[in-house]
C-alpha cells in the first residue's frame, strides 16, 4: 500500500479548495440578474444626460465610484430578493436538532428560560449545519456589497445615500411580495438595475430634471418587460420614454429612442434584447447632453 506524500495531499487539498471556491462563485453569479451589466451603463447614461459630468474636476473617479456603487447594490439586492430564503426558514421552523445552551442558575425545567435556551441551541445548530454551509457565500456577498454601499454612498453624497437606502427598501418590498421564494417582481428588479442607477448617475453631478426622472422610470418598465418576456410592457416603457422626452422639449432624444425602438417593434426581436435598451438609454443621454 502506497501512502500519499505530503505534497500530494497538499495538492489535493488545494484542488478541493479551488472546486469549493468555483462552486461558491457559481452560486453567487446564479442569483444576480441577467442584466446586472446594465447598472454601470445606466449610471454612465445618467451622468451624460446631466450635461455637467464631464466638465467637473475629477469626474472619472466620481463616475467610477458611482458605477461601483450600482454594482454593489445589485449584489445586495440579489442577496435579499433573489435567493429562496423561504426554504431554509421553513426548515428552521421544523428544526429540532441541537443541544440547549447552558441554562442560567435557578432555571426551572419547562420554564420560559429553559425553552429559550433550547431554541438558541437549536438555532446555533441550524446555522452551523444548514444555513452557513449552503448560503454562507451568498451572505458574504451581501455583507461585502453592503459595506461597499455604505462607504461609496457616504463619499458620493446625500443623493447617493438616499438612492442606496431606496434599493434596500425595494429589496424588502420584493421579498414580501414574492414571500421570499427568490422570484422578485420584474419591475422592482428593473428599477434596481436600470432606473435607480440612471438617477444615481444624474444626481451625482447635477440636480435631476423631470425628463431624466421620467426616462429612468420608462427604462425600468422596459427592462421589466424584457425580464418578464412581456413585449407589451417593454413597448410601454419605450412609449413612456418617447413621450417624456417629447413633453420636456427633447425632440431629438425622442427621435433617437423611436428609431431604436422601431426595429424591435417591427421585427419582433427576441425578449432578451437588453443591448437595444442600453443603446437607447445612451442615445437619449448623449443627445440630451448635446442639446443641453
Is the pLDDT at 177 greater than 60? The verdict is yes
Residue 158 CA to chain centroid, in angstroms?
Answer: 20
Return the percentage of the chain with pLDDT > 90, whole number: 29
CB 120 within 8 A of CB 61: no
Tell me what pLDDT residue 231 has: 83
Tell me what pLDDT residue 98 has: 64
CB 168 within 8 A of CB 142: no
At 221-237, the pLDDT tens digits run 999 998 888 888 888 99
pLDDT band at 254 (very low <50, low <70, confident <90, very high): confident
CA 196 vs CA 60, 98, 153, 268, 279: distances in Å? 20, 44, 13, 28, 17
Is the pLDDT at 31 greater than 80? The verdict is no
Q: Tell me how far apart the alpha carbons of residues 155 and 218 are, in angstroms, rounded to a whole number.
A: 28
CB 96 within 8 A of CB 122: yes
Q: Tell me how far apart the alpha carbons of residues 132 and 24 are, in angstroms, rounded to a whole number.
A: 12
What number is the average pLDDT over the span 195-203?
A: 94
pLDDT band at 43 (very low <50, low <70, confident <90, very high): very high
Q: Which of 22-26, 39-43, 126-130, 185-189 has the lowest mean pLDDT?
A: 22-26
Tell me what pLDDT residue 92 has: 67
Q: Tell me how far apart the alpha carbons of residues 253 and 261 are, in angstroms, rounded to a whole number.
A: 12
Tell me what pLDDT residue 112 has: 66
Return the percentage of the chain with pLDDT > 70, whole number: 79
At 134-167, the pLDDT tens digits run 777 788 888 888 999 999 999 999 999 999 999 9
Tell me what pLDDT residue 145 has: 87
Is the pLDDT at 130 greater than 80? The verdict is no
Q: Tell me how far apart the alpha carbons of residues 100 and 108 are, in angstroms, rounded to a whole number.
A: 14
Neighbouring C-beta atoms of residue 254, cutoff 10 Å:
22
At 74-127, the pLDDT tens digits run 999 988 888 887 777 776 677 677 666 666 665 666 666 666 777 777 777 777
CB 223 within 8 A of CB 190: yes
Tell me what pLDDT residue 131 has: 73
Residue carrying C-alpha cell 417593454: 234
Q: Tell me how far apart the alpha carbons of residues 36 and 13 are, in angstroms, rounded to a whole number.
A: 34
Amino acid at each position: 500500500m502506497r501512502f500519499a506524500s505530503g505534497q500530494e495531499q497538499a495538492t489535493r487539498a488545494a484542488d478541493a479548495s479551488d472546486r469549493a471556491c468555483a462552486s461558491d462563485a457559481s452560486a453567487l453569479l446564479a442569483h444576480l440578474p441577467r442584466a446586472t451589466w446594465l447598472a454601470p451603463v445606466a449610471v454612465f447614461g445618467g451622468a451624460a444626460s446631466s450635461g455637467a459630468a464631464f466638465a467637473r474636476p475629477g469626474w472619472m473617479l466620481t463616475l467610477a465610484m458611482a458605477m461601483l456603487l450600482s454594482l454593489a447594490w445589485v449584489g445586495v439586492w440579489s442577496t435579499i430578493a433573489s435567493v429562496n430564503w423561504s426554504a431554509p426558514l421553513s426548515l428552521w421552523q421544523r428544526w429540532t436538532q441541537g443541544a440547549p445552551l447552558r441554562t442560567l442558575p435557578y432555571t426551572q425545567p419547562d420554564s420560559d428560560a429553559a425553552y429559550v435556551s433550547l431554541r438558541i441551541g437549536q438555532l446555533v445548530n441550524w446555522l452551523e449545519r444548514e444555513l452557513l454551509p449552503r448560503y454562507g457565500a451568498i451572505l458574504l456577498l451581501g455583507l461585502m456589497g453592503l459595506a461597499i454601499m455604505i462607504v461609496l454612498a457616504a463619499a458620493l453624497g446625500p443623493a447617493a445615500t438616499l438612492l442606496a437606502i431606496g434599493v434596500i427598501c425595494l429589496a424588502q418590498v420584493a421579498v414580501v411580495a414574492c414571500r421570499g421564494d427568490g422570484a422578485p417582481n420584474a419591475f422592482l428588479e428593473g428599477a434596481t438595475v436600470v432606473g435607480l442607477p440612471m438617477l444615481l448617475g444624474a444626481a451625482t453631478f447635477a440636480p435631476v430634471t423631470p425628463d431624466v426622472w421620467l426616462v429612468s422610470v420608462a427604462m425600468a418598465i422596459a427592462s421589466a418587460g424584457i425580464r418578464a418576456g412581456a413585449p407589451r410592457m417593454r413597448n410601454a416603457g419605450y412609449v413612456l420614454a418617447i413621450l417624456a422626452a417629447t413633453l420636456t422639449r427633447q425632440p431629438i432624444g425622442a427621435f433617437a429612442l423611436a428609431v431604436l425602438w422601431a426595429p424591435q417593434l417591427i421585427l419582433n426581436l427576441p425578449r432578451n434584447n437588453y443591448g437595444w435598451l442600453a443603446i437607447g438609454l445612451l442615445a437619449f443621454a448623449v443627445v440630451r447632453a448635446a442639446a443641453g
